[in-house]
Amino acid sequence: METGRNADKHSMILDDFIRTLIGYEKIAVLGFNVEPDMYHEDEKVFVATVALNEEELYRCPECRQICGKYDSSGFVKRWRSLDLGKNKFFIECVYPRLLCAEHGVKKCRIPWAFPDSDYTQAFEVRVAYAAAKSPTSLVSREYRIQMGHCRQLRQTCATKHRSCREPIPQAEEDCH
């Protein structure tokens, strides 16, 4: 068991690793756990528990203004990210609601995910691109998500998100 300086050094390395994976610096890394996969009992998933910095915690997803806190529900949400090796990776964070003067009650803006998504931006864009180039059933198996989610991510990314600057062409669906 490590103590003192080595434990602090490893903790800082883990924090930097998690921030790099997420692609966002303004977070506090609260933990990193390995848990059983709720859908496949013989598999494990990685879960990084993080907290947004105070300045990002109550930012409106519509206008990006910092707003007031609406309630203290303490709702914790998980976003699926790209796999680490052969294991699924999730980011877990408190997902508070805010009161925006212009837009009313909203869930806070999460920098690594598109609004109202269960996936990170990196995961969505990767799946959308793969689904545009390959049969949906293949992408579904490769990323271990339902075929309907593949189609939805492809469509959402192609029509709504600035990160998908060029339209993503439709792939031919599997022949049955």
> How is the chain split into domains, by residue range?
1-53+69-95, 113-176
CA distance 58 to 128: 29
How many CB atoms within 10 Å of residue 12? 11
pLDDT at 5: 65
Only one residue has tokens 């490893």, namely 10
Lay out the sheet containing 104-107: strands in order across.
68-69, 97-100, 104-107
Please give the full DSSP string across 81-104, using - where no structure is assigned.
EEEETTEEEEEEEE--EEEETTTE
pLDDT at 161: 61
Mean pLDDT in each 10-residue stretch from start to end of the chain (176 residues)?
A: 64 89 92 93 95 86 90 89 95 93 92 90 91 89 90 77 51 45
pLDDT at 7: 63
CA distance 176 to 172: 12
